[in-house]
Structure 1
Amino acid sequence: MQKKQLFNKMITGTAAVAIALTLAACGNHDSATSSTSSTSSSVRSSETTSGSAYRAANKLIRNEDYQGAYDRLNNTNNRSTQADNIATDLQNYMSARKAYRNGDYATASNNLKEQKSTSPAMRDAYSELQDKIDSAQKGSTSTSQNANSAATTSSATKSAASSSSTATAKTTDDVVVEFANKMGFSGEKGYQIITTSKSGNTYKFEVRRNNSDNTVSNMVGFYQYNSETGAVTKLS
């Protein structure tokens, strides 16, 4: 009788242990399932947040609110590659726009060389700004060419005026010297040349010569001289 009671207690104890192990296993399974479910939910939430930020940024770009679009992306955690790329594009775009407004067209164009995202809104913004840069560069080149042309014209005008001035200066000095050298009427020989009239390039001179002791000035004659051709005519 005692053996039977002892056997029953052993069976009961074994059953209790088995039940406890079963319950523990079930608890671990439920915990693992709950953890997996929580992780999946977190991933889906992150993807949804990044996707929402990407869509919102595109809408802001269409409205030309580029800084707002960048801020919206920058404030999003665990961004997708797509969101990262459009954020980079926005940085480059805003840098290019600043350079364009400062007249630095080369830097502006360089910032727009590569678009990393596939966003149509971003592509349109890049294209529109590049068109403005190209137009500004052409206008700048044209202005520079016009300025150079004006400078060349001004230089030519000044040169012509200088030549004219030089020709005029010859009336009082150089033409008399030219005539004297041509005719051999040097001051060392006692000759005096007096300009009596001028018409264009034609000059009329009265030529006199002093005697050896410079007490008497004798008339040599009147001459007509063309400073352009060098022709000399004795009038009397």
Structure 2
Amino acid sequence: MTLQLNIKRSLTGVIAIAMLFSLAACRNSSQSGATSGSSSTSSSEQSDQKRAATLLKKAQKQIENGQTTSALTTLKKAQELDSSNDKVSKLLANVQNYLDAKDALNDGDTSSANESLAKMTSEQTNGDALTSQAKDLSTKAAQLKEANRWYQNAYDAVSNGYYETAKADLAKLNALPSSVRGIKNLQNQGKSLTSQINAASSSTTTAQSSNSSSSSTSSSTTSQTTGGLTDEQTDQVITSFTGTVGITNQSGLSFGVTQLGTNYYQVEVRQNNSSNTVGSLTGIYRYNTQTGSYTKLNTITGKYEK
């Protein structure tokens, strides 16, 4: 019995030892698997980071070649691979702002264009190719702003009959580069203003020639009407004009009235001689009956001045 009991105890000890070895082997196997999985994950991340870095270089090359739209697509792919890459994120933001500014400029929206360009400056692009392109875009934005100003000045001048002023403003508009769509559109609109100026100038020349060939024969104040005005309308213009300018509507004065535009007239004032046969020119005015503004022709410079 004692022998059998000792044998059983020995077998039990052997089994316990075997179980301990088995558990240890399982633990080592589990640890090995975990280490292998972690190593695999790290390797995948490193691969994505390398691919993102390669795409970043590709995007920079695309920007140098002026392919900013393609660069934007490339940078988005790079960010998907490595969202922690600060260089990718900053360049992506700059490219997006640059393209937004470019679109706004083509739409004639200088305010939005400048806002997008200002965001680029805050990103500090460190003098790369995109920074150079942004500076060029900023210059074009300033030119578009000038184009808007020259066109609006010319439009207002034509509306008020200041044709020489309008011509000068249109010349400045046309001198700007037409590479920006917004500027080109304004230059095309300016052609319509030029046609209006030419038509009005032709009409005024004809009217002045007609007025010069006629003489005043009345001993009292007389008026000459051109441009389809009735006598009543002419009298209304003269009354408004003399009251505003301060010219006394006295005997011996004659007024030649030519309509240049809506509420806008040219008034030629002459003083008849003692025989009322020849009227000496007192002045030629441009007068707006709605605003009460007027200018007088400077016979030396040939320009109308306030």
User: Among residues 164, 175, 178, which one is paired with 2:251 in the alignment?
Assistant: 178
Give the 5 Å matches for 1:176-215.
178=251, 201-204=272-275
- The number of residues matched between the two structures is 186
Name the counterpart of 2:162: 152
Provide Cα deviations, 1:64-95, integer angstroms capped at 9, x if missing partner.
00111011122342433432322222122112
The percentage of counterpart residues that share the same residue type is: 20
Note if 1:88 corresponds to 2:93: yes
Letter in 1 for 2:272: N
Query: Deviation of residue 113 (structure 1)?
Result: 0.6
- TM-score w.r.t. length of structure 2: 0.50
Query: Deviation of residue 130 (structure 1)?
Result: 1.2
Between 144-153 and 59-68, the greater mean CA deviation after superposition: 144-153
Instruction: State the secondary structure of the residue aligned to 2:275.
Output: strand
Is residue 53–residue 83 contact of structure 1 (8 Å, CA) maintained in 2?
no
Name the counterpart of 2:28: 26
Change (3 A) 1:128 1:8: same
Question: Unaligned 5+ residue runs, structure 2?
Answer: 166-200, 223-249, 253-270, 282-306
Change (3 A) 1:125 1:153: closer
Query: Larger Cα Rg: Structure 1 or Structure 2?
Result: 1
Name the counterpart of 1:105: 110
Instruction: State the secondary structure of the residue aligned to 2:62.
Output: helix
What CA distance in whole angstroms lies between the structure 1 residues aligned with 2:220 and 2:37?
Answer: 110
What CA distance in whole angstroms lies between the structure 1 residues aligned with 2:67 and 2:278?
Answer: 82
- TM-score w.r.t. length of structure 1: 0.62
Change (3 A) 1:53 1:226: closer
Instruction: State the secondary structure of the residue aligned to 1:114.
Output: helix
Question: Unaligned 5+ residue runs, structure 1?
Answer: 180-199, 206-223, 229-236
Note if 1:121 corresponds to 2:192: no
Name the counterpart of 1:56: 58
Name the counterpart of 1:131: 139
What CA distance in whole angstroms lies between the structure 1 residues aligned with 2:280 and 2:130?
Answer: 75
